[in-house]
Amino acid sequence: MPELSSAHNELEHERTYVAGLYRRLDELRAEKQRQLDQVRRTIAAGSHQNRSERDAFATMYEDRLAQLNAVDDRLVFGRLDLDSGEERYIGRIGLSTEDLQQLMVDWRAPEAGTFYQATAFERMGVRRRRHLILSSRDVAAIEDDVLDASMLTDSGSLQGEGALLAALNSRRTGQMSDIVGTIQAEQDRIIRAPLPGVVVVQGGPGTGKTAVALHRAAYLLYTHRERLKSAGVLLVGPTDAFMKYIERVLPSLGETGVVMASVGSLMPGIHAEPEADEAVAELKGRLEMAAVIKRAVANRQRIPAENRKLNVEGSILTLTPRQVRRARDRARATGKPHNEARATFVKIMLRELTEQLTEQLEESSGAGNTADRSYLAEDVRTSRDVRIALNLAWMPMTPEKLLRDLFSKPAQLEAAAPHLTDAERFLMQRPEDATWTEADVPLLDEAAELLGELDASAGRNAAEKEQERRRDLANAERALENVSASLADAGVDGVLTAEALAEHNVVADARLTAAERASSDRTWAYGHVVVDEAQELSPMHWRLLMRKCPVKSFTVVGDIAQTSSTAGSHSWQQALEPFVGDRWQLEELTVNYRTPAQIAEAAVRMANAAGLVVSAPKAVRDGRWDPVVNRASELVPALLDALPKELEVAADGLLAVIAPVRLIGEVRAAVRKVYGDRVGLGAGGLGQDIVVITPREAKGLEFDVVIVLEPAEMLKPDSVRIGDLYVAMTRPTQRLRLIATGEVPEGIEG
């Protein structure tokens, strides 16, 4: 059996080489851990520069160690046999020996590109492409793509199921896996597109849009490391469940420095919920809301209707509308945000009121009185009447306070949005303590931009600030008692003062990576932004994101046909033209890797029958089952009857029940009553292989089996768009069942 012997030898050869790669990985881990431990044992002593350098080294070692830990699974996945005779291994990161002999090429490096791009018609110098299928740290199987016809008789070439099909047929786990070992040529071309400008990746369900977006982020960080390391990359997704679903992908690709945020968490300190009323979401998403927020801020700079009397230490001063208007106009002329311009307004008003008080006292005491009047400025500044009057005219304001007042006080909304109808303004009204929504996030950001920073120390005198400093110092002194044991454990001698400890805490911020600093800084300017499910964003959301990347470098990923929000986009031109004109390029993904052909075709037929024009990417595989449609008299009993059969099909994978919003509570409770803790949210979790979710929550996720409840309801006007049912039907990788007590939309059954 010479062929079997040759195959065995090839497998053993790869196992030996891969074992060597893992030994080198472990050596590098141990080296970085030693270096990190040594830095941590070094106390913050010496100059400020020395401490900063120490912290920078610690951050560098921590980042490298995190990268080395994250790539352990399927460290290497390919080998190229080149015309030159070279064997080039392709993996998640680059590895070299101590004397810099290359062991493995990072998949993002230019010389790795041929692994994804070479074909039998254009070999690009590649004779054979070998896929290594790993189980833990061992090579379980090998598959060869022979590109050089002269090698077809080579008994060392091994065939298998196909790395791509094996990945597609694997069970879902609730966490997205990377596709680094199975990237296809059309995907690779988009991933490696140049950094500048706006690249729009349009693709139907299952075409790998999200995978392309994530791999592109990793590729750009590798290729443009110097430019993007300090500025960072922001990746935006539709929901928290989606972000949890994809959170492991970038670390597995060797990148740990990307800021990941759902649409509802783009404003630091705010965690917003979906907007319940689509009509309200559409109103708040209009670009004209930027002008509404601007007027709302301007309306908080008020001119009194009449003169106001102010008591300053028994003297009565007069504050006139003319004085306030003049000071307001001069403050506005600075061009500074509201809270910063207020300092100019207050300074002008205090000076004029102090001059008025001085004139009064001089008149009453006689012309020859030359007494020192310098104390009068402090009397005016600390006067309760003056403070109240200036705050009424120009109150310092937070974005949260501005919007709470705007939406809870009809008069303020009418003044800021006179162009809206009474009915539209009524829709937007809500209680002052209402929960923040995703539609509020860009309005809060707009308000923050116009208001500027709120100086917490504004108005405090030097004595108050010194008192606070002393309190902080006392806290630091008490903290010394708790750190003395740590110092001894570290083998450090010497004296650490409270002042040094306080300074060290400030310096420690230098250890934060760019991503960590960016995630808490609303004004951070990113070097590149990746947006997934981008078709759902409102114009105001786009305005927020454009502000976060002034250089307008974007990867925009989505499918217009799947838009389900009334505030979302009808076309990419509509979404992007207000911000970048025609300076964007469209790339399309044409192959459906996720959805079996029978299910994909049913979804397209349904959409077309309902009047929606959708792209119909070609499915790469046929499924074992056609879509199943059940008509039932009672929904929940029919679902509970079908679940055991579908769970058997899912077999260690994931099953999703997708239902209209109005049914979610009832259905989730019924399923939990039978299956208990196995029932989860989003993409599920540890031990949760059943999820009950809405079409919106299902966006971007995938499941082995999907059961869609009351599909006709997802086509009604209150479901916004046909995209809801289209999204729901295209989530499964194996089997689809629909259960309806009413009509079944046309086209589904062929």
Bind-site residues for ATP: 203-210
Report yes or no: 201 and 555 within 8 Å, Cβ to Cβ: yes
| Distances in whole angstroms, Cα of residue 616 to Cα of each of 92, 238, 589, 603, 715 | 32, 23, 10, 9, 20
Distance of CA 28 to the CA centre of its chain: 31
Q: Where are the beta strands (DSSP E) in 342-400?
A: none
- For residue 521, the tally of other CB atoms under 10 A from its CB is 11
Give me the sign of the Cα torsion angle 675, 680, 686, 688: positive
Q: Where are the beta strands (DSSP E) in 249-405?
A: 259-262, 308-312, 315-319
Paired with 394 in beta bridges are 301
| Distances in whole angstroms, Cα of residue 513 to Cα of each of 63, 211, 253, 274, 284 | 9, 25, 18, 30, 34
User: Distance between CA 428 and CA 416 in Å, rounded?
Assistant: 13
| Distances in whole angstroms, Cα of residue 337 to Cα of each of 43, 331, 407, 452 | 42, 10, 22, 5
708: its two tokens? 């869609």
DSSP-derived secondary structure letter, 301: B
User: Distance between CA 440 and CA 267 in Å, rounded?
Assistant: 10
Q: What is the 3-class SS of 523-585, one letter each residue?
A: CCCCCEEEECCHHHCCHHHHHHHHHHCCCCCEEEEECHHHCCCCCCCCCHHHHHHHHHCCCEE
- For residue 47, the tally of other CB atoms under 10 A from its CB is 8
Q: What is the 3-class SS of 82-118, one letter each residue?
A: ECCCCEEEEECCCEECCCCCEEEEECCCHHHCHHHHC
- For residue 238, the tally of other CB atoms under 10 A from its CB is 26
Residues 6+ apart with CB under 8 A from 727: 205, 562, 564, 695, 698, 699
Distance of CA 190 to the CA centre of its chain: 21
Residues 6+ apart with CB under 8 A from 326: 348
- For residue 391, the tally of other CB atoms under 10 A from its CB is 13
Q: Residue 185 is which amino acid?
A: A
Distance of CA 449 to the CA centre of its chain: 20
| Distances in whole angstroms, Cα of residue 439 to Cα of each of 239, 274, 400, 533, 720 | 13, 8, 14, 16, 16
| Distances in whole angstroms, Cα of residue 189 to Cα of each of 128, 186, 216 | 21, 5, 10
User: Distance between CA 433 and CA 404 in Å, rounded?
Assistant: 7
Which residue ranges are tagged as binding site? 203-210
DSSP-derived secondary structure letter, 436: P
250: its two tokens? 């970038």
Residue in the block written with tokens 């399309």? 588
- For residue 557, the tally of other CB atoms under 10 A from its CB is 29
User: Smallest Cα–Cα separation from 734: which of 615, 628, 629?
Assistant: 628
User: Smallest Cα–Cα separation from 703: which of 719, 721, 720, 688?
Assistant: 688
Residue in the block written with tokens 């999907």? 706
Residues 6+ apart with CB under 8 A from 169: 621, 733
Report yes or no: 413 and 516 within 8 Å, Cβ to Cβ: no
